[in-house]
Chain A
Amino acid sequence: MRMAVVVTVMMKELRDLFRDKRTVRIALVMGPLFMPLLMLGIITMSEKRVNTQLEKPLDLPVVGSQYAPNLVKWLAGQNVNVLAAPADPDGEIRSQHRDVILSIGKDYPEDWHKGIPARVEIVEDSSRRDAEIPVERLERLLKTYSTTVGSLRLLARGVSPSVATAVRIAHRDLATPESKRGLALSFLPYLLILSSFLGGAHLVIDATAGERERQSLEPLLATPASREAIMSGKIAGACVFGLLALMLTLAAFKISFQLFPQSGTKLDVSIVTMLKLLLVLAPVVLLGTTLLTLIAASAKSVKEAQSYMSLLMLMPLVPTILLLVNPIKDQVWMFAVPFLAQNQLIMKLLRLEIVTAQEWAIYLAGGFGLGILLWLAAARLYHREKLAISA
């Protein structure tokens, strides 16, 4: 295999691609621009929701407020906007008109006077995620009220309230501010991995399956250039393009997170981290292009090759979902598993955690090793007689 031929093929593929201005614009401008905007939008939205739900007065319809005037009065002093009871409380929750409703039973005054825990009911729909914060707020307020009144009762009987507290629980949160921010960005790795995995997809499919469909692969294979060299040139061209798209995406991320620091996610976007991210994602580019070359060389048409795309788009999602369902802590073997490794590494880098030399070594060996294996497999497929023939 001659390097000069590989370079010739690569340069031709890139020149051919860059003449197709519309495709280039979509791949290099839309992608990198759209992703950071989407990310920032989602982050800003979620923070805004949390803040407004935490800080604005809690609208709380109370059923049976006449049974517990003191509680209601206390609640009103705690940034709660007590509203009159609706006619059908359950219906209000079901129809999502209200996030949460407090219901006080008519036994409340009697139990209160007897000193039996008086019953109040929080009416909620626990499957509604946007109601989580109001429900939690109400519950915390009720607990505070209960403890306060309970302590006063004990004091009135000459008993220290601390007697009733056998264990005092305190949290010592070791999460660094950076790692807390990382939490909000659990889908960032997926977006980055996906864009590097399939960033050059159209170029790759076009370069093999498309070239055959346009009847130009047969003359190409009739030149003295070896099939490996032709294929390698095409893969190299797609890798260059994929890396370019990736660099632009990372640059866009860096700039947008620096422009909007108030989005609270002061992630580590230093040049060094961005370069490390590039190193983490480079094997994914190789993996994507070789895998797609393999598919495009074995598929009968461009259409067939493209129909694999929806499946491929799900592949990087698998580890993200697995980790969401079954969170496990970092283990060394994870750095050899494609997609899972990138996921872990990106999070580590953004959270400013240290990646050990061993983890880097396993990761890079695993990532590039698999890429080279796929490359060899694609080279074998490129030798099939059927490859060149479109009819």
Chain B
Amino acid sequence: MIEVRNVHKSFTSKSGRVIAVDDVSFTARDGEITGLLGPNGAGKTTTLRMLYTLMKPETGSVSVDGFDAVRDAEAVRRRLGVLPDARGVYKRLTARENIEYFGRLHQMDEGAIASRIVLLSRALDMNDFLDRPTEGFSQGQRTKTAIARALVHDPRNVVLDEPTNGLDVMTTRSMRQFLEGLRTEGRCVIFSSHIMQEIAALCDRIVVIAKGRVVAQGTADDLRAQTGEDNLENAFVKVIGSDEGLHS
């Protein structure tokens, strides 16, 4: 379970102070997929970065399975599988070696790493390219490698920043099935996207973020009821205030 409570984050830029995340709160429960929906630049990535301890919130707190992300950063990272916005893989290593490296950083033993790779490779359909150097991989193959790498330690909580970015229709479909599999296993899954259809198809709960603030959250039905719109897309446009960046 992941709880985000009133977090703030701002950056200094040339034009002055920019507030990236302004008082964001939400809870992601185990066995559910929580979707973070918002236009590009809404603060989704920054929120997630505070979640996986890359950044510290200025105020507010983040806890993962009861561990505080600032005080127990290492314990939090242990419980998280993270696919960040930046998902570079080492191109001179094979997909398997990339995954093994992260397994060792999680201090798993070699046997456990090998059996996890068998499992993940089957679930993500990676057998064809598992032992090839990742140089020259397609976007989909790279993303699959990065996801397998993030989940090698069998984490209870999974955070994916725009996992379907740049993937073709077939790969997106199999990714969707994979995420549903994670939910069935009882994991807590958070994933962010700027594509409304994707969030609507997968998520149990939706958190809509715009300009650094949570503008609406709940199930799809909650959102429809809140806005008085039957069509989910119209509901989103209404809460965000514009339809900017909501399409793929």
Contact = CB atoms under 8 A, between A and B. Distances in A.
A223 B106 contact: yes
A223 to B, nearest CB: 4
A217 interface: yes
A148 interface: no
A2 B91 CA distance: 26
A225 B103 CA distance: 11
A12 B102 CA distance: 10
A222 B77 contact: yes
A14 to B, nearest CB: 12
B82 A5 contact: no
Counting chain B CB atoms within 10 Å of each CB, the highest count among A211, A218, A221 belongs to: A218
A224 B74 contact: yes
A37 to B, nearest CB: 30
Contact of B54 (A15, A16, A218, A224): A218
A24 to B, nearest CB: 11
Interface string B77-96: 11010111111111111000
A222 B52 contact: yes
Given A215-B86, A222-B54, A385-B56, A12 B80 contact: no
B225 to A, nearest CB: 37
Given A5-B107, A215-B86, A216-B86, A223 B93 contact: no
A20 interface: yes
Contacts of A215: 86-88
B120 to A, nearest CB: 15
Contact of A216 (B82, B88, B104): B88
A218 B51 CA distance: 13
Contacts of A218: 54, 84-86
Counting chain B CB atoms within 10 Å of each CB, the highest count among A2, A9, A220, A390 belongs to: A220
Contacts of A214: 88, 91
Given A8-B101, A223-B77, A224-B78, A16 B86 contact: no
A215 B83 CA distance: 12
Contacts of B107: 2, 4-5, 224
Contact of A385 (B55, B105, B106): B55
A123 to B, nearest CB: 65
A209 interface: no
Interface residues on A, range: 20 to 34
A388 B54 contact: yes
A12 B150 CA distance: 17
B105 A219 contact: no
Given A224-B105, A385-B56, A219 B78 contact: no
B146 interface: yes
Interface in A359-391: 385, 388-391
Given A19-B93, A221-B54, A226 B86 contact: no
Interface string B202-220: 0000000000000000000
B29 interface: no
A16 B92 contact: yes
Interface of B: 49, 52-56, 74-75, 77-78, 80, 82-93, 97, 101-102, 104-107, 133, 146, 149-150
**Shortest Cβ-Cβ A-B pairs, 8 listed:** A216-B88, A215-B88, A215-B86, A19-B92, A218-B86, A222-B82, A214-B88, A8-B104
27 contacts: A2-B107, A4-B104, A4-B107, A8-B104, A12-B90, A12-B93, A16-B93, A19-B92, A214-B88, A214-B91, A215-B86, A216-B86, A216-B89, A216-B90, A217-B86, A218-B85, A218-B86, A219-B82, A219-B87, A219-B146, A222-B84, A223-B77, A224-B107, A385-B55, A389-B49, A389-B54, A389-B86
Given A8-B105, A214-B91, A223-B102, 16 more contacts: A2-B107, A5-B107, A9-B105, A15-B93, A216-B89, A218-B84, A219-B83, A219-B146, A219-B150, A224-B74, A224-B75, A385-B54, A385-B56, A388-B54, A388-B86, A389-B86
Interface of A: 2, 4-5, 8-9, 12, 15-16, 19-20, 211, 214-226, 385, 388-391
